[in-house]
Chain A
Amino acid sequence: MSNSSADPSKPNDAESGRKTLRDRNVSLRPLRTIFLVGIAASPLIALLLTYVFLQRPTPPSDAESTAQAKPSESQSPEARPAGRAAPVVSPAPRSSTVALPSIAAPASAEQLQRESEAAARDLQSRYPNVAEGLHVVALLHAQLRQTTEAEKIWRKCLELSPRRPEYYVNLATTQIERGESAAAVATLRQSLAAGCKSEAIDYHLALALMKVGDCAEAEKILKPAVGQYPDSADCWLALGESQLKLGNAADAEASLRKAIALDASSATAYFALGNACARQGKTQEATQFREAFAKLKDKQPIAAPERFQVLSADEWRRTAVAVLSEAAMVHASQGDVLESERLLLRSLALNPMNAAACNALAGLYKRVGMLPEERVARRRLLDLEPGNVARYIELADVSSRQGEAELAEATMKLAIANHPDTAVLYAALAQWFVQWGKADKARWYAQEAVRRQPTADGFRLLAATCRLTGDQAGADAATAESEKLNREPEEPGRQPPASPQTPAAPPEAR
């Protein structure tokens, strides 16, 4: 469930509070809960982990920006005269002051609970008026089924930040967990009155309305919602459910088919669709959808410990990692870098495989200019996520910023060796070669980038490298192609045009 390699083109789900109610509420979407966290017993863990991995109060991860194939501190090649490399800052070499663990530190459930609670208490006492910090505290209370306290703190969050949808959604979720669905409806209506218009609000309001039996009002909320968020499988599913409850089986069938088209992994949607078909006498289709439902259920068995609301040591470890990581982000945002570093390192000690915490640590080091430490963290991130090309670029970037161009180049070549069809890697390396004044190599890699994925940006880069090598005709042709692509929508898989003076071999071979 980590989105450490999140697609920046997609909205940040957690910021809008999306899915939290579904994830937490067993009666609503138990299967999704199990799927998300792997521990069916703890819907609140799902909420907590969803929050931690999807939420980035401050500072944002830099992974997304580097993933755009532009080294974060490089300039556009076009801005620099040919043959003149940008000055490379070479800090005095020094060793990293951190080492990352590879084996999880032992800790009992009780110890982990104490540690999580201490981190939450610290947040609450140091930043009593920082909503992001209180939010973490409230999540831990909810996790511990201390719902009265959780509700109180989320109300405080709303006093401090009355326009954050996730606070309303989590408050409403807690109210539903307490059996106070009518109060949840009021909370979510209050969010609308406060101007919080979002998919999450509409969706959760509709769910709460259905819980109190007001399905007509739920449908009234959801119909425009699916118009506004047509790709929301959750909204389509909830719409179908409200229509089914209202007895409009045909409408429900249409909505549920749409939900399944968007998310075929939802057992609940198949179940509801089977019921909608059965209600219309479509026995054969009902049977077919119920069979699909049963197959999906079989894939998501309920673990025996689910009955217990008390967390196991493993579950507490996950919770502690989440709480400490998130607390670290709050401390960082408040300027306490050392505490932030301590908590992130502790998170990694508890779970050395936690990419989100490692990424946060790397981001923290980058922010404060601790390059050797950042490199250690980036190196670990790459080990954790070798399939994520952004990790190579980030590691190369920090090497470059450390003045170790050869190491950066080696990293990028390794990335290309592992992901030979990924154009962004070629383009990134081309930019570095431009930066390092290696025009021939830059041009060759730029050429390879557009060969794999012809984009306007790619051709602009190619044009720049052509100019650096003195090939004005090539630069003009590449520029023309870039402008052409700017005018027309890109066609996936389109073949790049023949380029003038295409090198017959990589620069090294000449």
Chain B
Amino acid sequence: MALNMKTRCTVLLLACSLMFANRACRSGEAALCPIRLEDATASSRITFRHHAGENGQGYIVAGVAAGLALFDFDGDGRIDIFFLNGAPLKGTPGGPWPDALYRNNGDFTFTDVTEAAGVGDLGYGLGVTVGDYDQDGLPDLYLNNFGPNVLYHNNGDGTFSDATSTAAVANGSKVGAGTCFLDADGDGDLDLYAANYVNFTYENHVSIKVGSHFLHAGPRYYKPVEDTLFRNNGDGTFTDVSRESGIASVAGPGMGMVCGDFDDDGDTDAFVCNDEAANFLFQNDGKGHFKESALLAGVAYDFYGKENSSMGADCGDYDNDGKLDLFMTDYQSEMPVLYHNLGGGLFEDATSTAGITNDLYPHVTWGTGFADFDNDGDRDLYVACGHFDRVESFDDRTSLQVPNFLLMNTGDGRFTDVSKLCGSGLAVAESSRGAGFDDLDNDGDIDAVILNWNSKPTILRNESPAGSHWIEIELHGRVTNRDGVGARVRVISGDAVQVDEVHSGRSYQSHSGSRLHFGLAQKVRADRIEVRWPGGKTEIFPGAASGQLVRLFEGAGSPEN
């Protein structure tokens, strides 16, 4: 097997001095790096600034904010941006700091339409997802807050209505986290999963003072809270079925989450990151009953049996073996974990064998996503980093604000760190949290939006050299849910086969990627597209030329033979 670039670096290290070898290796790699992500924040006209809403008190909720959503709210074919914001926590002056919706102008600039759209919630935003819960063909927004949650119903005219009370999904006044729409019970509409963190209130706030600083207490100072599953009643209302579904049979300090068919049995399962506790994998029996089986599946702990402080998660088939793998971000002094799907519901920790760089180890990692940034037919990995304390004052390995990482898939089941080689976008040092990935300018490559804690966001424009081909697929369910959430798509292009699935909610308490994006490398067309709709029914669609967004409607394809 040929040495990849990272290996060549190592060989050089042995021959030369450390500094010289690094320089030599990197300058050689820079010319080769096929991904360019440039910082386009300044020209984007986005003025949003995230506020954690605290004034040095070290509230646990402040450290873990917040996510974002990328979705086409107005149906104009362009992906818009929704940012969650904090609110003044007790003892903190200032505010209000509403969440913000930016409409995509189509030229990589964005216009703040929060007020007009009516989505400027003033609650303390933590997690967000997008889904068409009422099957009207319009994407709705669900906000998982510290405090009452909010469901914004999309009116179809560029505005939203607060449907929380009607739908009965406020979820009390908990500390929220990640959230996902999924068809849990296979009845064709989208149910709603809201992960919950810990039982923090102002009354039980744990104050950790070191020197003159208050640090953010970890989740073990509090009790974990069971997650919530709302069943969609099909009439615009929901019923809390957490107990009967089995979701509330265990409690964990939930963080980011992602739903998908991880055991390949045709229904949608839920993977929930837990902070300083074993993760949860709720396996669905297809009827909305879940069994927590993370330990048996091999995703509860890392390779060494350690329960990490898991933050965010995404799933994707990084090695193109037809199965959805999982990637999970973690706290500092923990490696993010790549769980390779072995099939049969079993995963293995492939972090080191896949070459995930150890440079991530000192940092807290948050938002993440599998995305084929260079359209070469395999999925790369983006990892957002940053602390919530001024950690650099007592640890020289990391800091509050650090640059994020981009790990390029080398096509052989391994990744190489190209963070310093792929443009100005990865040089930005912030304390990043939520991260979303989608084609913001409809030019056929994946851009990125990063929510930075207590700061302005980062907008990354993909300016990778053109040359590789791509195809995007948008699913429209008719019998199953309108967004195709939970549907699996298989794209066959020559000898290359790729799979992906439509997810609602992923990364760190964020949402993006409703349109599936497939890099085709040098293939000019997808020869065949297979869609397995939620529930297991598979349809075959004819191939399509590359370079376009293809809309596939349930029932329009040929049944699988």
Contact = CB atoms under 8 A, between A and B. Distances in A.
A271 B334 CA distance: 18
A304 interface: yes
Interface string B175-204: 000000000000000000000000000000
A476 interface: no
Which size class do B's interface residues fall under?
35 or more
A51 B303 CA distance: 27
Interface in A10-55: 26-31
Interface stretch (A78-86, A211-219, A327-335, A367-375): A211-219
A26 B334 contact: yes
Contact of B18 (A181, A183, A290, A302): A183
Interface string B197-213: 00000000010101100
B397 A186 contact: no
Most A C-beta atoms less than 10 A away, residue of B13, B218, B307, B331 = B218
Contact of A268 (B220, B304, B361, B394): B304
B312 to A, nearest CB: 17
Contact of A179 (B217, B218, B358): B358
B397 A178 contact: yes
B304 A27 contact: yes
B397 A213 contact: no
B298 interface: yes
Interface string A295-306: 001000011111
A213 B306 contact: no
A177 B10 CA distance: 18
Contact of A177 (B302, B333, B414): B333
B286 interface: no
A279 B303 CA distance: 14
Given A26-B306, A27-B334, A290 B397 contact: no
Nearest to B330: A27
A478 B521 CA distance: 89
B110 interface: no
Interface string A204-236: 000000111101000000000000000000000
B296 interface: yes
B332 to A, nearest CB: 8
Interface string B357-390: 1111110000000000000000000000000000
A213 B354 contact: yes
Nearest to B391: A309
B295 A290 contact: yes
B87 interface: no
B304 A29 contact: yes
Contacts of A212: 10, 352, 355, 358
A389 interface: no
A145 B276 contact: no
Nearest to B218: A307
Contacts of A183: 13, 18
A453 interface: no
Contacts of A307: 217-218, 220, 276, 309, 331
B210 A28 contact: no
Contact of B306 (A27, A144, A275): A27
B14 interface: yes
A434 B208 CA distance: 63
Interface in A269-314: 270-272, 275, 278-279, 286-287, 290, 293-294, 297, 302-310
A176 interface: yes
Contacts of A278: 296, 298, 346
B397 A304 contact: no
Contacts of B396: 145-148
A384 interface: no
A179 B352 CA distance: 12
Given A213-B353, A278-B298, A308-B210, A268 B305 contact: yes
B344 to A, nearest CB: 9
A31 B301 CA distance: 13
B215 interface: yes
Contacts of B395: 145, 309
Contact of A245 (B10, B307, B352, B359): B352
Nearest to B360: A179
A236 to B, nearest CB: 15
B348 interface: yes
A181 B362 CA distance: 12
Contacts of A213: 352-355, 414
A186 B220 contact: no
A302 B305 CA distance: 13
Contacts of B61: none
A180 interface: yes
B347 to A, nearest CB: 10
A268 B302 CA distance: 10
A145 B355 CA distance: 26
B335 interface: yes
A176 B334 CA distance: 11
A27 B309 CA distance: 11
B358 A304 contact: no
A241 interface: yes
B397 A179 contact: yes
A286 B357 CA distance: 30
Nearest to A209: B352
A147 B391 CA distance: 14
Contacts of B357: 179
Interface string A145-159: 111100000000000
A330 B14 CA distance: 35
A395 interface: no
A152 to B, nearest CB: 12
A265 B414 CA distance: 34
A427 B10 CA distance: 60
Contacts of B14: 186
Contact of B13 (A29, A186, A268, A306): A186
Contact of A304 (B18, B217, B304): B217
B221 interface: yes
B358 A180 contact: yes
Interface string A472-501: 000000000000000000000000000000
Contacts of B295: 290, 294
Interface string B289-311: 00000011010011111110100
A178 B298 contact: no
A267 interface: yes
Interface string B505-523: 0000000000000000000
Interface of A: 26-31, 110, 144-148, 176-183, 186, 210-213, 215, 241, 245, 267-268, 270-272, 275, 278-279, 286-287, 290, 293-294, 297, 302-310
The 7 closest A-B pairs by CB, nearest first: A271-B305, A307-B218, A304-B220, A145-B395, A179-B361, A181-B358, A310-B210
Given A186-B14, A286-B296, 8 more contacts: A110-B211, A146-B396, A180-B359, A268-B305, A271-B304, A271-B305, A303-B220, A310-B210
Interface of B: 9-10, 13-14, 18, 206, 208, 210-211, 215, 217-218, 220-221, 276, 295-296, 298, 301-307, 309, 331, 333-335, 342, 346, 348, 352-355, 357-362, 391, 394-397, 414
22 contacts: A29-B304, A148-B396, A177-B362, A178-B397, A179-B357, A180-B358, A182-B9, A182-B13, A210-B352, A212-B355, A213-B354, A215-B353, A245-B303, A245-B353, A279-B348, A302-B276, A304-B221, A307-B217, A307-B220, A308-B218, A309-B395, A310-B211
